[in-house]
């Protein structure tokens, strides 16, 4: 019997994946008190809650830097390593960048779990990094009662080719490249009540790099881009609308959702981070009266290694759809559009 068969990794953590993020409201209040860097070569800093920082080195080369780590959301250590690496690398893709190097970030309960489990986690991360063309060149570890893993990733991008989350325009069409629901599935895994086929589909999604989606986005010339992670679709769309000074209209029936997730929500299986996201979203989202709370919770579900959310001019929408389809991204879903509303409000209809 292997370590992966006899150890339930999720039982060693209080939560899982990006659902463990500090809530956006609490985090925002703290970050607003910190100094804002002032450097003409800092092309993307903290001002718009973008996915990564970008620093110009030369007129043609800029560094993209990001860091992400979290507690287990699946029981298999190797899969956990793959998911954590895929999630961290995604932030570079969301900026239009090309990842190059990474450092491991490790917290592990030595003396509680076998060190071979850590070896499996690191191997999963290494294999996914290799798939992305990244070299992991070191890292840092601490002894911690909860296992945690992730990467600090460095990439490169041309200063004129950066994708931002704050450059959308009224009339832009919105596309999503992975279905929602993996946060809800991870809670079902932790409670040991997730169907095996649903776990398999969720893991496949979370270990799919956003590289192809980013390639399609940059080749098409999208207006704006972000990836959907711990703050859910609504939270990350809000960062896009607020930063761009536009509003958005979402058609819930067009938003892709993993099959089986609605049944889990109906059974009361919802992450705490998802509930927190929904509470926060009521400050900037107007839901149609026909939408019940389970539907709202799915739109707020805290994703891990989610898809890219892309805003594209109407005249380029068909080209983006064709490029995404041709390159084989998990889903190609047009879910709504940006509207002329400086308040950044999001309207959701059934």
pLDDT of residue 2: 43
Rounded CA separation 119/339 (Å):
49
pLDDT of residue 16: 64
Name the CATH code of domain 173-349 (choices 3.40.1260.10, 3.40.50.300, 3.60.21.10, 3.90.650.10): 3.90.650.10
Rounded CA separation 146/135 (Å):
26
Which CATH topology does 3-157 take? 60s Ribosomal Protein L30; Chain: A; (3.30.1330)
Among 132, 75, 72, which Cα is nearest to 102's?
Answer: 132
Whether the Cβ atoms of residue 184 and residue 69 lie closer than 8 Å to each other? no
Catalytic residue, candidates 18, 20, 166, 225? 18
First to last CA, the chain: 48
Query: Is the CA virtual torsion 238, 232, 104, 126 positive or negative?
Result: negative
Degrees (nearest 5) of the Cα angle 331, 173, 341?
135
pLDDT of residue 17: 59
Mean pLDDT by 10 residues, the chain (350 residues): 63 71 73 84 92 97 97 96 98 98 97 96 98 97 97 98 98 98 96 95 98 98 97 97 98 98 97 95 97 97 97 98 96 98 97
String of DSSP letters for 290-341: T--HHHHHHHT---SS--EEEEE-HHHHHHHHHHHHHHT-S--EEEEEEES-
Judged by DSSP in three states, 183 sits in helix
**Domain locations in the chain as residue ranges:** 3-157, 173-349
| Sequence-distant contacts of 316-320: CB under 8 A, at least 24 apart | 316/220, 316/221, 316/222, 317/173, 317/175, 319/220, 320/175, 320/216, 320/217, 320/220, 320/222
Whether the Cβ atoms of residue 233 and residue 309 lie closer than 8 Å to each other? yes
Residue 287, number of CB atoms within 10 A of its CB: 22
Query: Six-digit token pair at 213?
Result: 């989606």
pLDDT of residue 101: 98
Residue 249, number of CB atoms within 10 A of its CB: 17
* Residue 18 annotated among the catalytic residues of the structure: yes
pLDDT of residue 5: 52
pLDDT of residue 33: 82
pLDDT of residue 23: 67
């Amino acid at each position: 019997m292997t370590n992966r068969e006899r150890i339930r990794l999720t039982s060693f953590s209080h939560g899982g994946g990006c659902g463990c993020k500090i809530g956006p409201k609490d985090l925002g209040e703290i970050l607003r008190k910190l100094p804002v860097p002032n450097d003409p070569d800092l092309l993307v800093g903290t001002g718009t809650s973008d996915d990564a920082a970008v620093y110009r080195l030369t007129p043609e080369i800029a560094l993209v830097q990001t860091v992400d780590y979290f507690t287990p959301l699946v029981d298999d250590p190797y899969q956990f390593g793959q998911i954590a690496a895929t999630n961290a690398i995604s932030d570079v893709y969301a900026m239009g960048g090309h990842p190059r190097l990474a450092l491991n970030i490790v917290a592990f309960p030595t003396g509680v779990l076998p060190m071979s489990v850590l070896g499996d986690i690191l191997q999963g991360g290494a294999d996914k990094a290799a798939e992305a063309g990244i070299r992991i060149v070191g890292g840092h570890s601490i002894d911690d009662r909860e296992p945690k893993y992730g990467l600090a990733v460095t990439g490169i991008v041309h200063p004129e080719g950066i994708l931002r989350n704050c450059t959308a325009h009224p009339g832009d069409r919105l596309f999503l490249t992975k279905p929602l629901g993996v946060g809800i599935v991870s809670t079902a895994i932790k409670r040991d009540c997730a169907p095996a086929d649903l776990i398999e589909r969720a893991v496949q999604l979370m270990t799919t790099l956003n590289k192809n989606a980013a390639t399609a986005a940059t080749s098409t010339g999208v207006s704006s881009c972000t990836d959907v992670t711990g703050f859910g679709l609504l939270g990350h769309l809000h960062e896009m609308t607020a930063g761009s000074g536009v509003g958005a209209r979402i058609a819930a029936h067009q938003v892709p959702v993993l099959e089986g997730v609605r049944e889990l929500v109906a059974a009361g299986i919802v992450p705490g981070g998802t509930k927190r996201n929904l509470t926060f979203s009521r400050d900037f989202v107007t839901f149609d009266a026909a939408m019940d709370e389970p539907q709202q919770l799915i739109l707020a579900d805290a994703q891990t290694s989610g898809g890219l959310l892309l805003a594209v001019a109407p005249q380029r929408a068909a080209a983006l759809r064709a490029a995404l389809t041709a390159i084989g991204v998990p889903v190609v879903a047009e879910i709504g559009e940006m509207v002329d509303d400086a308040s950044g409000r999001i309207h959701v209809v059934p």
